Amino acid sequence: MLYLYRFFCGILEVEFFGIYPEKIINLCAKNRIAVWNVHYGNNKIRLFITVKDFKRLPKILKRSGLRLHILNKKGFPFFINRYKRRFGIFTGIVIFFAVLQFMSGFIWIIEVEGNKTVTDREILAICKDLGIKTGVKRNSIDTKNTPQDLLLKMDKLSWGSFNIEGCKLTVNVTEIVPKTEDNTVATNLKAAKDGIIEKIDVTSGNPVVKVGDIVKKGDLLVSGITETMSETKFVHSIGTVTAKTEETITVFEPFITRTETLTGKTAKRRVLEIFGIKIPLYIGKEKGNFRTEVDCKNLKLLSQNIPIKIYTKKFIFVKKEKYTRDYNQLCEQLWERLEKESKTKNFNVKSKDFTQNEKGVTLTAVITKTEDITYSENLIFTIGK
């Protein structure tokens, strides 16, 4: 701070010489004139002094027999004096600060805090739909009602708020914590699918079906009501009922198909975004068939985001081809596809049928699977009049 004060006052490097030049130190101390970086040599004293204090020296040196010589000048007054005729510089400074003042009325940085499973991109996309984006006026943001609109559009959030600091908007959120199953609530286990019971494994509740029974979707499998000789209990049913289920699936493949193969050629184009204004750093357009990948890098200053982004768009060139397949090829490919899926999803194909139309071939298959078919449903009690 002391250096800044001296810099704006103006600093002079002065050399004193004459009879006993060191007495200038005593004279300055007596008249409360601040000097620093004092050096003595060759019967001369060199020191630094502010312009303000330098103007007081003529009266002090009048009868001292000392003379002085200014060696160097620096500081704000000399800078202004040097460029006082260069109006463009001062005009530029005025315009710069005017633009800076104008731009301070907008939001240029938006950050999200408090999220764990919901990504920043999802939240910022919803904010953009609500009109909250970089370049929006600060006073146009309703910090009370807009967070409520955000919660209505995102059912994964339980709380949200907007905090504005300068040109930065922080979206603070809290995610909804999934509810754990309440084992104190009395429930039944019912069938989610049609099937034939193959295995029953129940740790709580009263099974009402047995192995080999045929059940329909919605049938009661395990009751939450258990009765003994002395009392009736209502319990939370826990367990699994494994059944052999059957369903029909369809898979379609067209006669005409299009493929893309990489050519190995790539190109990159960059766009600079400053305060929401995008400036292309390239000339011309890419021609041909290509895929694109976009990467955005937000520049930082002292570990803080600044409203300057660089978008890198990567063009991956491909060769598109179209060819026609016949009925037998499609049947073979559909069957291979179904077999591969049966291994990953663990089901068996009971029957299959191929049908053909003008667009392609459809495979209709009946599959069987062994799976747990239970789902939980709360017991509903009715009180008679």
Chain mean pLDDT for the chain = 87
Q: Which residues face 49 on adjacent strands?
A: 12, 35
* Boundary of a domain, candidates 128, 160, 175: 175
| Angular region, 357: left φ>0, alpha ψ -120 to 50, beta rest | beta
Determine how many CB atoms are found less than 10 A away from the CB of residue 385: 2
**Most confidently modeled range among 1-5, 104-108, 183-187, 352-356:** 352-356
- For residue 67, give its domain range: 2-80
Q: Which amino acid is at 342?
A: S
CA distance 6 to 12: 10
Q: How far lies 230's CA from each of 227, 233, 235, in Å?
A: 8, 10, 16
CA distance 101 to 98: 5
Summarize pLDDT for 1-52 with one digit per residue, the tens.
Answer: 777 888 888 999 999 988 888 888 888 888 888 899 998 888 888 999 998 8
- Please list, in sequence order, all residues whose beta carbon lies within 8 angstroms of the beta carbon of residue 343, skipping any fewer than 6 positions away: none
Residue 119 counted as domain residue: yes
Secondary structure (3-state) at 24? helix
Position 246 scores a pLDDT of 92
Residue 294 counted as domain residue: yes
Q: Residue 142's domain is classified under what CATH number?
A: 3.10.20.310
Is the pLDDT assigned to residue 99 strictly greater than 90?
A: no
Q: Residue 68's domain is classified under what CATH number?
A: 3.30.70.260
DSSP string, 70-121: EEEEESHHHHHHHTTT-HHHHHHHHHHHHHHHHHTTB--EEEEES-SSS-HH
Q: Is 252 in contact with 360 (CB distance < 8 Å)?
A: yes
* Boundary of a domain, candidates 175, 208, 229: 175
* Boundary of a domain, candidates 273, 288, 323: 323
Residue 346 counted as domain residue: no
Residue 383 counted as domain residue: no
Band (93; pLDDT cuts 50, 70, 90): confident
Report residue 174 as tokens.
Answer: 């809290």
Q: Which of 52, 61, 42, 40 is nearest to 6 (CA)?
A: 52
Summarize pLDDT for 339-369 with one digit per residue, the tens.
Answer: 888 888 888 999 999 999 989 999 999 999 9
| β pairing state of 220-223 and 187-191 | antiparallel
Summarize pLDDT for 305-314 with one digit per residue, the tens.
Answer: 777 889 899 9
Residue 54 counted as domain residue: yes
Domain count along the chain: 3
Position 385 scores a pLDDT of 47
Residue 338 counted as domain residue: no
Q: Which residues of 181-200 are buried (b: 16+ CB within 10 A; e: fewer)?
A: eeeeebbbbbbbbbbebeeb
Residue 42 counted as domain residue: yes
Residue 39 counted as domain residue: yes
Give yes or no: residues 10 and 67 share one domain.
yes
Position 365 scores a pLDDT of 93
